Amino acid sequence: MTTRGILVAAALLGAVAVGIAQTPQGRQSEGALQRRPGADREPEFPAPTIRQYKPKSTLVVPQHPTPRAKFPVIDIHSHHNMPLSAAQFDTIAESMDALNLRMLVNSTGMTGERLVASVAAIRASRHRDRMVQFATISFRDVGPGFGVRAARQLEADVKAGAPGVGEIGKGFGLQSRKADGSRLKLDDPELDPIWETAARLNIPVFIHTADPQEFFQPITYTNERWLELALYPERRYPSDKFPSFETLMGERDRLFRRHPKTTFIAAHLGWHGNDLGRLGRMFDEMPNLYTELGAVLYELGRQPRAAREFLVKYQDRVLFGKDNYQPDEFPYYWRTLETADEYFDYYRDYHAFWKLYGLALPDEVLKKLYYQNALRLVPGLPRTGFPQ
Ligand SMILES: [Zn+2]
Position 24 pLDDT exceeds 60? no
Ligand 1 centroid vs 171 CA: distance in angstroms? 12
Query: How large a percentage of the chain has pLDDT more than 70?
Result: 93
* Average pLDDT for 251-256: 98
| Residue 59 pLDDT greater than 90, yes or no | yes
pLDDT in tens, 126-170: 999 999 999 999 999 999 999 999 999 999 999 999 999 999 999
pTM passes above 0.75: yes
Distance from Cα 207 to the centre of ligand 1, integer Å: 9
Mean pLDDT of the chain: 93
**pLDDT higher than threshold 90 for residue 16:** no
**What is the SS3 string spanning the chain?**
CCHHHHHHHHHHHHHHHCCCCCCCCCCCCCCCCCCCCCCCCCCCCCCCCCCCCCCCCCCCCCCCCCCCCCCCEEEEEECCCCCCCHHHHHHHHHHHHHHCEEEEEEEEEECHHHHHHHHHHHHHCCCCCCEEEEECCCCCCECCCHHHHHHHHHHHHHHCCCCCEEEECCHHHHCCEECCCCECCCCCHHHHHHHHHHHHCCCCEEECCCCCHHHHCCCCCCCCCHHHHHHCHHHCCCCCCCCCHHHHHHHHHHHHHHCCCCCEEECHHHHCCCCHHHHHHHHHHCCCEEEECCCCHHHHHCCHHHHHHHHHHCCCCEECCCECCCHHHHHHHHHHHHCCCCCECCCCCCCCCCCECCCCCCHHHHHHHHHHHHHHHCCCCCCCCCCC
> How far apart are the CA of 107 and the centre of ligand 1, in A?
7
Query: By percentage, how much of the chain surpasses pLDDT 90?
Result: 86
What mean pLDDT is predicted for residues 326-337? 98
Task: Determine the distance separating the centroid of ligand 1 and the alpha carbon of 168, expressed in angstroms.
Answer: 8
Q: How confident is the model at residue 35 (pLDDT cuts 50, 70, 90)?
A: confident
CA of 79 relative to ligand 1 center, distance in Å: 7
CA of 284 to the centre of ligand 1 (A): 25
Range with the lowest mean pLDDT among 93-97, 318-322, 382-386? 382-386
Q: What is the mean pLDDT of residues 242-248?
A: 98
